[in-house]
Structure 1
């Protein structure tokens, strides 16, 4: 993915400079700014949702807006969870990032449709975020339900916003299908890391496997199914960079880990 890696590197520099400058100007503390600089995943992974935008400059602009929005959501999610060492006033500034990034989408094609997508998708996402906090996943079906919404639906929303803002609606179904599958696979990897590194329990997929509430075979079968869905969507309408090999390898590493080889790197 050398071409994508190069584009990513440029976008990452612009993203972090822009986000931290705006947050500093709004009053975020040095501790909060450092926390934002150290965020993993959110400043990078959502960029995948912009890969169906053909114009490189617009793709980068929308990709940065997507990642900015995701970083804002992460801060608000931290505020809800109350498990991060930065003050609530820093975390609530995540709302500023979501508003700022949404304005970027509104400056391009189909702004009313873009805003409707954010409204509809995030209505579902926030509802299920609260449901999960009150009723954590207890089996594979409930885990997939939450993952397909809080990560899959989030990525689907970003794919829709990017395709609409770029006026490439013919690419939207494939982009949205890929992003749902990738979102679920990303959550599997996230749960693996959190369980391995932090000992996360509750509705964590690995904890559910270890506690016997989810069979290992079923978790592997589900991972293979979402892998196939991601590759099917990529074949239906390929994005601007060839990422099928990366996706297959990423999913295969998840499967290897779920089969209990703790040496595999899923970062």
Structure 2
């Protein structure tokens, strides 16, 4: 192949990548607007205070990242419907988690409205008896961990990663598996989509702990606090995050999602790997 043709090929690949990324950004932004609008309207209809509405408005990950679990749903309309439901559910879970943790300046009477968001999200999905039974059973392990979490002292990175795989990873995996039972146009095997989403959940939880260490001074059971003064442990965690990123990338290469999350999850993984 001549140098000119090679350059044209590379330019074509770059253009396709740019178009794909633009479509990703547009769809993700559009979904976030709908999620925020619907979340606040549902809460307002149930008597939420302005304090709670403002708290939800400031959320970053929960109204955004679970949308990725719909990435392999081929039909855009169906994908948006499922992704928005996953995010509504995740915001509801976050509010109930705050009741347990007691670490937010929002009354529990407001935070308890998280159950309304969870009900709305699940009611909107086309679930048969099998999907409904799955939804009940899949959350037992996650909620069991969430309820015990305030009483758990995590002293080592192995324990931390196990917890991350159960909680953040488990949530993202749950949405992918739920989609496998309720979506008509899924374009990847359930196990592969579920594994990819578990990895995404762990990556984002690494980032949450780094941010909480810097911004909130969090030290108890915090990943970064465990490794900040130990260069060998920092290197080990950095390498582990690299392996997680590599495994995730391999799944995305072999099973390309219709909603191309690759650039975003790679960017996030690289960002936290560099910080470590």
Higher relative contact order (CA 8 A, sep 6+): 2
2:93 to 73, 77, 88: 73
**In 2, Cα distance between equivalents of 1:238 and 1:245:** 12
Q: Output the CA distance in 2 between the equivalents of 1:148 and 1:210.
A: 22
In the alignment, is residue 95 of structure 1 matched against residue 115 of structure 2?
A: yes
**Matched length:** 255
Partner residue, 2:212:
194
| Uncovered stretches (5+) of structure 2, i.e. residues with no partner | 1-20
Partner of 2:65: 45
User: By how many angstroms is 1:181 displaced?
Assistant: 0.5
**Corresponding residue to 2:168 among 140, 147, 151:** 151
Which of the residues 116, 137, 158 maps onto 1:120? 137
Counterparts of 2:28 and 2:116, CA distance in 1: 24
Task: Flag the structure with larger Rg.
Answer: 2
Partner SS, residue 35 of structure 1: helix
Aligned with 1:21 (options 33, 41, 50): 41
Could you tell me how far 1:211 is from its partner in structure 2? 5.5
2:151 to 134, 137, 149: 134
Superposed CA RMSD: 1.7
CA offset at residue 243 of structure 1? 2.9
Calculate the TM-score normalised by the size of structure 2.
0.87
Cα distance in 1 for partners of 2:132, 2:254 equals 26
1:163 matches 2:163: no
Corresponding residue SS for 1:7: helix
Q: CA, structure 1 residues 152+97, in 2 after alignment: closer, same or farther (shift >3 Å)? A: same
- Superposition map of 1:182-261 within 5 A: 182-210=200-228, 212=230, 215-258=233-276
Deviation at 1:130, TM superposition (A): 2.7
Q: Give, in whole Å, the separation in 2 of the partners of 1:243 and 1:120.
A: 28
CA spacing shift, 1:70–1:214, aligned 2, 3 Å: farther
**Corresponding residue SS for 1:215:** helix
1:1-58 residue CA offsets vs partner (Å, 9 max, x unmatched)? 2111111222122211111111111111111111111111111111000111111111
SS in 2 for 1:27: coil
